[in-house]
């Protein structure tokens, strides 16, 4: 089978992959986690405005997208706990309930990686009149910048550069402001997994030096 680099052929094919991802993954997962119908950007934004739905999407779509996180079903546990709304005024109480539910299901709570993202994710949503994901998405849309939000996300223990980039990427898409993000910040919209580092190491033996210089962040894309 021959492979063509003709952009007139290649771009429509790539665009079709993107459209399938939006419908079959992004919107479908958000709808499933929030428990409502989400079929377009407009309905996604409306869902993010509601703190409870925003919290479910945050925990379901993003908070545990790391090695072992989804397999352990931490996302489902958080959504299960939120079925009756924000019953806990204190985020630490919510975390304790999370730990108890993990134990009820014979799952290790993984305090090192989960305490921060569970407590801070819950706290952020109960502190805002609008959904936290909507608030930070609106900030990106108004400021045309993602760097400050990306750095704030990284301060939450349990969220690394991959998850931060996932959140920023989807918010930029749903708020339709990708064209306003500068080329310098656009790498922050690219979720980079550890597997990419390993591939780069095969092609460039000194990748570890660059990784140290960039503190393991996605800015390596500007240099490779």
The pLDDT value given to residue 223 = 39
**pLDDT value of position 224:** 40
Least confident of 41-45, 183-187, 218-222: 218-222
| Percentage, residues of the chain above pLDDT 90 | 69
Q: What pLDDT score does 3 carry?
A: 59
- Say if residue 211's pLDDT is above 90: no
207 or 126, which is more confident = 126
Mean pLDDT of the chain: 88
pLDDT value of residue 16: 87
Determine what percent of the chain is predicted with pLDDT higher than 70: 84
Average pLDDT (184-213) is: 72
Could you report the per-residue pLDDT of 102-133, keeping only the tens digit for each?
A: 999 999 999 999 999 999 999 999 998 999 99
Predicted local distance difference test score (pLDDT) of residue 42: 95
Per-residue confidence band for 203, with pLDDT thresholds at 50, 70 and 90: low
- Note the helical H segments in 87-160: 91-104, 111-126, 132-143, 147-154
Name residue, tokens 């545990």.
64
The predicted model gives 9-13 an average pLDDT of: 83
Average the pLDDT over 152-178 and give the result. Answer: 95
182 vs 203 pLDDT, higher one: 182
| Residue 11 in this model has a pLDDT that exceeds 90 | no
Model confidence band, residue 14 (pLDDT cutoffs 50, 70, 90): confident
């Amino acid at each position: 089978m021959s492979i063509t680099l003709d952009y007139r052929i290649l771009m429509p094919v790539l665009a079709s992959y993107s459209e399938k991802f939006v419908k079959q993954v992004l919107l479908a997962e958000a709808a499933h986690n929030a428990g409502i119908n989400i079929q377009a950007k407009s309905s996604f934004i409306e869902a993010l405005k509601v703190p409870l739905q925003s919290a479910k999407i945050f925990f379901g779509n993003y908070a545990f997208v790391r090695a072992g996180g989804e397999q352990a079903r931490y996302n489902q546990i958080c959504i299960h706990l939120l079925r009756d709304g924000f019953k806990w005024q204190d985020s630490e109480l919510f975390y304790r309930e999370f730990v108890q539910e993990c134990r009820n299901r014979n799952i290790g709570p993984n305090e090192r990686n989960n305490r921060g993202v569970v407590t801070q994710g819950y706290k952020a949503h109960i502190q805002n009149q609008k959904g936290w994901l909507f608030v930070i998405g609106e900030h990106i849309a108004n400021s045309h910048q993602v760097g400050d939000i990306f750095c704030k996300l990284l301060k939450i223990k349990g969220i690394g550069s991959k998850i931060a980039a996932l959140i920023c990427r989807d918010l930029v898409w749903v708020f339709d402001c990708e064209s306003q993000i500068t080329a310098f910040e656009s790498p922050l919209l690219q979720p980079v997994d550890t597997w990419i580092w390993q591939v780069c190491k095969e092609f460039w033996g000194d990748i570890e030096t660059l990784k140290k210089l960039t503190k393991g962040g996605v800015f390596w894309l500007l240099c490779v």
